[in-house]
Amino acid sequence: MKRIIKRVLMLGIMVVLLGSFIYCGGGGDGSTGGGGGGDATAQAESYVSALKQPGYSRAVDFFTDNCNLPVVAQTLYPEVQSLINLKSDSTAALLKVLSDPTLDGTEDGDRIRALVAYILEDTRAYSAVEPLANYLRRAFTEIQPIPFISIQAGMHAWAVLTGHDDLIRGLYDYDTVAAFVAGSHPSLQSEVLKHTLPTSNNQADIGHTHIIVDLPVLPKNYYQTDFTPEKKAALDNVFYLKQDKIAPFQDPIKVLESSSRSYCCHSWTFRPQDTTLPDLYQRYHISGDQVDKILANEGYINITAYPQRWREGDVILFRRFDRTTNIDLPRHTGRISSLGPSSAYPDFRFTSKWSMFHPVVDVSVRDALRVYPGSVEVWTNRLGGQCDNISGVWQVAQTTTLTCTNWETGGEESLYEEASGEIAVTQDVCNVSDSTGDLTGTIDGVHCNFLLKASLQSFDLATTVVYVKVKGDIDFDSISLTGSDTVLDPKMSCLVQVNALLLRGPN
């Protein structure tokens, strides 16, 4: 029965969170309800006591930031709504929670204080500004393990109540919290707070945040940093609601790496080397509004309209219209892991770090669109990204028509030949050749300008080798080439016409 209750709780949490992942609004709702009679202070104390029941606040673990906390708090905890309704009458009881030493270093204490910070923010309890600041300083320097959830909620509440809108986005940011605390962890401040993240051409700085710290692995915690084979098997079975049928995903989901919250999808996509740094303080999140800056400054080319140019390892980007800025903003990024001609193709897949808490997973693009609805783009900065990459093995079917006119007699004769085989194509930027010397040339975008070898047996039984100029476009896994050339010798003039079809072989 306990397992059933826990699973129902989990499903309910995920349902409400699915709707809040994208539409985010920090801060309170301006509730104006009253205390409902009786001694308001006593009521507030009783509601706080209810929240302190061991394990009662467990659902708070499943929110990812203050975008989701209001949904979880008011949906699952009637005491939270009741405390909000009491308004200023609840403040004194809530402030006692921030200073209660029995809550230090406990999971319940971290979660309850996060709820308290949210309520203080929602009720605009301006008298809580200094107590919140005192708690944040103490939590960051004295409490172990560092209470991540209540620090992020407390920073958000403090920023809202003091009008520091510039700090509201720094919910996970070690830099912001360390600067606020002023003096804590000086060795880390000297190293982390001066960290800059320039684009590869040094033309712009990339906005990023360093995470406060990862919580220790907890037995019940769904989001583990320690990625054991047993944990992988469990995640393979149920991850991303596949078996819970909340999100109607169609295709297989593969869990690949651990779920450290020290980096996000954008840092995994554009700075993968930094997501494995052993010092968690050195890792970072890249905010979504910085993605376009990276694309513009690091040689990326938008090849969305050219599926035939997509390659494994290219960046895939999910955009969605933002009602605040009235522009389409990047919401999610990853790297293509297998190809398909469109987002509806089940084998068109990519790998990415999903959200803050979740592992690195490999999923289909069409399934990802269920979580990140909007438009999909493909970008590349491959060497020679302006030309398609056709390196690999190709099957070739070639027809050659030779039409010759004898200069002395004026007679005309024709010869038609077919040939097939296999060539191994190599590519240096946009220059293409193959090991047998049958094909050379260049690629401009998806347009091929090649010389293709034609071995011709002339009518006097002599063999002539010519290279005919052929052109064609790459169409995902095939290239159709056509061209003609004139061959002259002392006796005749010959028109050579070549048609060839190249199909991708096993690479």
CA dist 213 and 434 (Å) reads 52
For CA atoms 446, 449, 453, 458, the dihedral sign is: positive
**What angle separates helix 107-122 from helix 91-99, to the nearest 10 degrees?**
150
Instruction: Write the CB contacts of 407 (distance below 8 Å, at least 6 apart in sequence).
Output: 491, 492, 493
pLDDT in tens, 181-211: 764 444 434 444 457 899 988 899 998 887 7
What's the pLDDT at 25?
Answer: 31
Q: pLDDT tens digit string along 394-405?
A: 999 999 988 888
Blockwise average pLDDT, block size 10, the chain, 507 residues: 36 39 33 52 93 86 58 79 93 95 92 93 93 89 82 86 69 67 48 71 87 48 46 53 53 77 89 86 84 93 83 92 76 93 90 78 90 89 75 91 84 85 89 90 88 75 81 88 87 88 81
Helix (H) or strand (E) holding 47, with range, is: helix 40-51
Instruction: Report pLDDT for 408.
Output: 80
**What DSSP state is assigned to residue 313?**
T
Crossing angle for the helix pair 129-141 and 148-162, nearest 10 degrees?
Answer: 150
Distance CA 287, CA 265 (A): 9
Res 22: pLDDT:
32
Q: What angle do CA 384, 385, 391 make, to 5 degrees?
A: 70
Give the per-residue pLDDT at 350. 96
Sheet architecture: strand order including 254-257: 254-257, 360-364, 349-353, 327-338, 315-322, 375-380, 301-302
Q: Which backbone phi and psi does 50 adopt, to 5 degrees?
A: -65, -40
The Cα–Cα gap between 180 and 192 comes to: 14
- Of 17, 103, 29, 98, give the one whose Cα is nearest residue 59: 17
Q: Give the CA radius of gyration of the chain.
A: 32
Give residue 28's pLDDT: 31
One-letter amino acid identity for 296?
A
Report whether 291 contacts 330 (CB < 8 A). Answer: yes
SS3 60: helix
Token look-up 């609004």 returns 25
Cα distance between residue 82 and residue 74, in whole Å? 9
Structural tokens at position 497: 């016409």
Partners of 334 in beta bridges: 316
**Per-residue DSSP letters for 385-429?**
TTB----EEEEEEEEEEEEEEETTT--EEEEEEEEEEEEEEEEET
Judge residue 268's burial from the number of C-beta atoms within 10 Å of its C-beta, 0-12 exposed, 13-18 middle, 19 or more buried: buried
Question: What CA–CA distance (Å, rounded) separates 257 from 273?
Answer: 14
Which one-letter amino acid corresponds to residue 54? P
**CA 428 from centre of chain:** 30
Q: Taking the CB of residue 187, how many other CB atoms lie within 10 A of it?
A: 7
Predicted pLDDT of residue 35 = 41
Residues 6+ apart with CB under 8 A from 479: 390, 394, 448, 472, 473, 501, 502
Q: How far is CA 435 from CA 154, 277, 423, in A?
A: 65, 41, 7
Are the C-beta atoms of residues 498 and 481 closer than 8 Å to each other?
Answer: yes
